[in-house]
Structures are given as structure tokens and as C-alpha cells.
Amino acid sequence: MNLSQEHLSILHRLGAKIRVSYQAETYVEDPASLRPKRKTGPKYVAEILDASTDELYHRAESDKGENEAAIAAILGAVDAPKPLTAAQRESEKLKAEILDKAKAEARAQNELDEQKRINDELRARLDAIERATSNKKAAVPA
């Protein structure tokens, strides 16, 4: 494989490494006749891996050669989402848990506020009924 300095620089700036392999012809059975049927190949497969985690995050194929596959993978990796490190994954998980807990607490507080509002409304109605009843008793001569 013979990559230009520009492509090597892109890999370096991405913090990535590349793995290129040759894949021979692959065959699959034709479901109707159960006979082997040529599916694909031969081709070169280039995979871009995060240098710190060794996680694959972009892959490209070419039947023209390994350089073409590598260049396609490098250029595609520029826009591909990068894998998270273990610490970043844990941080994202903790953020999600904290957010879920905060949402649950907010829902519970909203329910308590709504119940308090209903109780206050009922208490006001009851007080009004009691006042009306006591006014009627006071208005009725004995």
C-alpha cells in the first residue's frame, strides 16, 4: 500500500490506524436452487480503527486495489462518528442516569404540586361551604 503524505496526515489527525485485507470471491447459495452462486469479490477491504480503542468506525471496499480501498476508507472516516473510549462511554452512561433521575424527581415534584393544588382547592371549597352553613345557622332565629 502506498498512501500519500496527505492521507497519512489525515489518519494521524484522526488518531486512527488502517487495516487493509484482501477478500477472495465469496459464494452464497441460491435459495431457489440451493446451488452455489457467485456473490462478490475479489475485493480489498480497508478498515479505519481508533488508535486508542482499536474499535472499527469506518470501512470501505474496492475491487480496484488496496490503495483505492484505503483512500476511500480514510476519506469516509473524516465524517464518520468516532468511537468513545471506555471512560467516555461511562461518562455518557452516568450523564444519562443523572438526567433520568432528575426527570423522575421533576415528575414526582410536579405530581406533588398538582396534588397540593387540588387539596388547596378542595380546602377552599370546604371552607366556603362551612362559612355558608354557619351563616345560615346564624341567620335562622332560634
74-114 per-position pLDDT tens digit: 999 999 988 888 788 899 999 999 999 999 999 999 999 99
Considering only CA atoms, which of 78, 46, 39 is closest in space to residue 64?
Answer: 46
Question: Do 75 and 88 share a structural domain?
Answer: no
Is the distance from CB of 30 to CB of 45 less than 8 angstroms? no
Domain end among 38, 58, 79: 79
- pTM greater than 0.85: no
Q: How many distinct structural domains can be found in the chain? A: 2
> DSSP letters of 110-136?
HHHHHHHHHHHHHHHHHHHHHHHHHHH
Identify any residues that bridge with 20 across adjacent strands, giving them in sequence order: 46
Domain end among 49, 79, 109: 79
Using pLDDT thresholds of 50, 70 and 90, give the confidence band for residue 52: confident
pLDDT at 23: 86
Question: Do 95 and 49 share a structural domain?
Answer: no
Range of the domain at 133: 84-142
CATH number at residue 73: 3.30.160
Residue 69, pLDDT > 70, answer yes
